[in-house]
Amino acid sequence: MEQPVVLSFASLRQRALDCTACALSTTRTNVVFGEGAEQAKLLMIGEGPGEVEDATGRPFVGPAGQKLDEVMNSVGLRRQDVYITNIVKCRPPGNRVPTRAEAEACTPYLEAQIALIQPSVIVALGNTPTQWLLPDAPGITQSRGTFFSWRGGILVFPMFHPSYLLRYPSKEKGSPKYLTWMDIQKVKAWLDEQARGPEGTPAQI
């Protein structure tokens, strides 16, 4: 699929809503394009829409989304101040991992979203977006909690997908929940440092 010519978020969204580039278009209820601040410093990318997201057309509004809100709220991040989307914009049947062909079909939309938003940090939620953005990085259990330089000007910070936290509710030290709360504090500290002025640089992380 050729990369869409993007003039605005509205034009890009409409192209996505009309997209039939892969077979997911035949089983979706709604395209889940993404939502949030269109010039956000923080972009969060998940794997793909789930059942609730497919029904509503909104990203991360089911149980995993509620957990993501809880994680963000713990450090004072508000959903309206970030942008949230997924690698694929249509729900894979049964919430399976999207195929490479499906991800490749959606890549022009994700690339265009990143170009329009121009975030400082991308939080990759789970293994799928981490491996898609950082194909040479280790798996999520090893790469989470680390800032990676991406394309020379953006940082990518892998974190566990919130659905993973739902399966492991323990908050004990070293648990997925504990590590995620530590990770989101690291993201917030970096954003706060950037907001204070030019002396806060990625090299200081």
172-189: pLDDT as tens digits: 999 999 999 999 999 999
The 10s digit of each residue's pLDDT in 92-148 is: 999 999 999 999 999 999 999 999 999 999 999 999 999 999 999 999 999 999 999
| 2 is a domain residue | no
| 75 is a domain residue | yes
Domain housing 72: 9-194
CA dihedral (191, 194, 199, 205) positive or negative: positive
| 17 is a domain residue | yes
The 10s digit of each residue's pLDDT in 30-83 is: 999 999 999 999 999 999 999 999 999 999 999 999 999 999 999 999 999 999
| 20 is a domain residue | yes
| 121 is a domain residue | yes
pLDDT at residue 198, rounded to an integer: 62
| 204 is a domain residue | no
The one-letter code for the residue type at 203 is A
Q: How many domains does the chain have?
A: 1
| 83 is a domain residue | yes
* pTM for this entry: 0.92
| 199 is a domain residue | no
Neighbours of 4 (CB within 10 A): 16
